[in-house]
Amino acid sequence: MAGPLSTLKVLDFSTLLPGPFGTLILADLGAQVLRVESPTRPDMVRMLPPMAGGISAVHGYLNRSKRSLALDLKKPEAVAVIHRLVQDYDIIVEQFRPGVMNRLGVGYEALREINPGLIYCSITGYGQDGPYRDRAGHDLNYLAIAGMTAYNGRRDSGPAPMALQAADIAGGSCHAVMAILAAVIHRQATGEGQHIDISMTDAAFSLHALTAPQALIAGEDPVLERTQLNGGSFYDCYETRDGRWFSVAGLEPQFFLQFCQAIGRPHLATKGLAMAPDIVAEVKAEIRAAMKEKSFDEWSAIFAGVDACVEPVLSLSEAAEHPQLKARGMVVEVPAGEGTQRQVASPFKFSATAPEYRFAGGMPGAHTREVLAEHGFSDDDIQALMQIGAAM
């Protein structure tokens, strides 16, 4: 059965990570996603190693199931192609700085004249307005401005970059998908399309779910290693005798009691909820000492039978082989050229409409002729576009 979003047709003008990861979610769920790529300015993701069959494995993953149309939007003939396609593709995702799409002739106002039901999602670092609208930035900058980096890290070394791109993905990608699907529901009810303005900084700021109330109401800013979940309690990672690590997260008294008993420190159980810095330091020092007494494998065997919210810290390769993730089918083989590419699966589990993995992302313009022919362009039309460099 087709995916739950199989009726949606998306033109994706985005590059790098936020937009492509968002449209990957849509494509996995069945949406027909067509990447509009520049033939002269390649997406930097295409250059990231490792390469498989001449294609970046990162590109192959982020752009799976998406067809590629290579157009030079600086040429009016290419813009005319978009004007024709937007009669059929009713969702657009773009990630340029504010105003760029307007200058190219494919901004929201121009395209809504052609398709009034168009849903047009713009993902930017700071949004379509405000003093930072034209400012360059990356994930780390957005998280810093949003107040998140200030309490991510250690007191002795200071704020630190996050291991994954929280502003790009949790902020840009996921919020864009949620907003697009909400706009689709609105359009179903009213027939009205709309422009969606996603700021990765705004979205990151909205993620302070447990810390914003204290800061906004009580004036208590979260700082490094002072909240219950950022190292200010026993909730943390601890090293084993052989240099591996375990995550200890049993905040509830019953879980912390079982943990304390398992490490031979039952007297710590009454101190688990303490937030006074001196008591926290004492508890963590004892946990560190206890965890250093045994190897990673020894602790793995012990905690396998203890329901205490304690799990080993795994490498990504180890995680891919973990029995829970394997049972959930979180690594899949996706068609790629003559063979397949091993990729992370979609996390969505539907009872009736399974995610689709049609093919890994391929070469730029791989589907240009196919797409244009589907939309009524003759062989002569297509050849003419290619001869003037409007298409590739």
83: annotated active-site residue = no
Identify the residue whose tokens are 């539907």: 350
Q: Where are the beta strands (DSSP E) in 32-117?
A: 32-37, 51-52, 55-56, 66-70, 91-94
Annotated catalytic residue: which of 138, 186, 195, 322? 138
Preceding amide of 323 cis, omega within 30: no
Report yes or no: 280 and 274 within 8 Å, Cβ to Cβ: yes
Give the Cα separation of 109 and 183 in Å (integer): 17
- Phi then psi dihedrals of residue 199, to 5 deg: -100, 125
Annotated catalytic residue: which of 168, 175, 202, 236? 168
Residue 198 buriedness (CB in 10 A; 0-12 / 13-18 / 19+): buried
* H/E segment holding residue 224: none
Between strands 245-248 and 310-312, the pairing is antiparallel
CA angle 244, 282, 309 (to 5 degrees): 50
- Residue of 30, 37, 52, 23 lying closest to 337 (CA atoms): 52
Task: Return the structure tokens found at 139.
Answer: 């994930």
379: annotated active-site residue = no
Task: Return the structure tokens found at 141.
Answer: 């900058």
Active centre residues (catalytic): 138, 168
